[in-house]
Chains A and B, each alone.
Chain A
Amino acid sequence: AQSVAQPEDQVNVAEGNPLTVKCTYSVSGNPYLFWYVQYPNRGLQFLLKYITGDNLVKGSYGFEAEFNKSQTSFHLKKPSALVSDSALYFCAVRDISNFNKFYFGSGTKLNVKP
């Protein structure tokens, strides 16, 4: 079975500082990993994905994520946080036996303070 875990319910960071939102995965095989962001009362928006290739993946709004196979992690990062980045972030892994299904983490609330 595939799963992802987001160990932090909430991350607080000051505007202008770097941010990291953590995600670890459990997959038997090569993982297809995704990050989504959700603003209040809205659906999820795609940020970036890792399928294969470079371990550092660049995505929307200046976000990037680093795939680390030895640590089974896929942490989301941004060099300089903005107040407008405050939202709920979800890590997800694609079911390798059924590519049409995702398993989502429980989400991490990012608070960026001015």
Chain B
Amino acid sequence: DTGVSQDPRHKITKRGQNVTFRCDPISEHNRLYWYRQTLGQGPEFLTYFQNEAQLEKSRLLSDRFSAERPKGSFSTLEIQRTEQGDSAMYLCASSTGVLYGYTFGSGTRLTVV
């Protein structure tokens, strides 16, 4: 598989529960990004990794959100104590360099009920 994979595709959770999403980037891509897309809006930047180092976090990423990329390969995004406002599509993307476009995964759609 040469694309970016995200798991799960859909997640329905009750408010207050914790959820974790996984992203497997293209193997030779050292940069990995998380974006959030709400209905009717374009994606918004959440955080970025170069290899295993998390180099930037948006202020959209509250204390309830944490992302890791422990070995510079796959990444996880965890949301603790989910709120209804967390309902969105969470997109992962990877790239090889700053002058290239991203390759996006299909996203994880989170619904908090």
**Are B91 and A44 in contact (CB-based, < 8 A)?**
yes
**Are A42 and B107 in contact (CB-based, < 8 A)?**
yes
Complex Cα gap A69–B102 (Å): 24
CB within 8 Å of B: which of A31-87?
32, 34, 36, 41-46, 49, 51
Among B4, B43, B50, max chain A CB count under 10 A is at B43
**Are B42 and A106 in contact (CB-based, < 8 A)?**
yes
Total contacting residues, chain A, CB less than 8 A: 24
Complex Cα gap A14–B99 (Å): 35
Can you name the residue of chain A whose Cβ is closest to the Cβ of B9? A41
Complex Cα gap A43–B92 (Å): 9
**Are A46 and B45 in contact (CB-based, < 8 A)?**
no
**Are B101 and A100 in contact (CB-based, < 8 A)?**
no
**Are A34 and B101 in contact (CB-based, < 8 A)?**
yes
**Are B42 and A92 in contact (CB-based, < 8 A)?**
yes
Can you name the residue of chain B whose Cβ is closest to the Cβ of A43? B104
Complex Cα gap A42–B40 (Å): 14
Determine whether A104 belongs to the interface, using a CB cutoff of 8 Å to chain B: yes
**Are A100 and B42 in contact (CB-based, < 8 A)?**
no
Among A42, A44, A51, A106, max chain B CB count under 10 A is at A44
CB distance from B106 to the nearest CB of A (A): 5
**Contact flag A100-B43 (CB < 8 Å), given A43-B104, A43-B105, A46-B102:** no
**Are B99 and A100 in contact (CB-based, < 8 A)?**
no
Determine whether A25 belongs to the interface, using a CB cutoff of 8 Å to chain B: no
Which single member of B42, B50, B93, B98 contacts A90 (CB below 8 Å)? B42
Binding site for B on A (CB under 8 A): 32, 34, 36, 41-46, 49, 51, 90, 92, 94, 98-107
Besides A41-B107, A43-B107, A106-B41, 14 new A-B residue pairs in contact (Cβ under 8 A), listed by A number: A32-B99, A36-B101, A41-B106, A41-B109, A42-B107, A43-B91, A44-B93, A90-B42, A94-B98, A98-B56, A101-B56, A102-B102, A104-B44, A106-B40
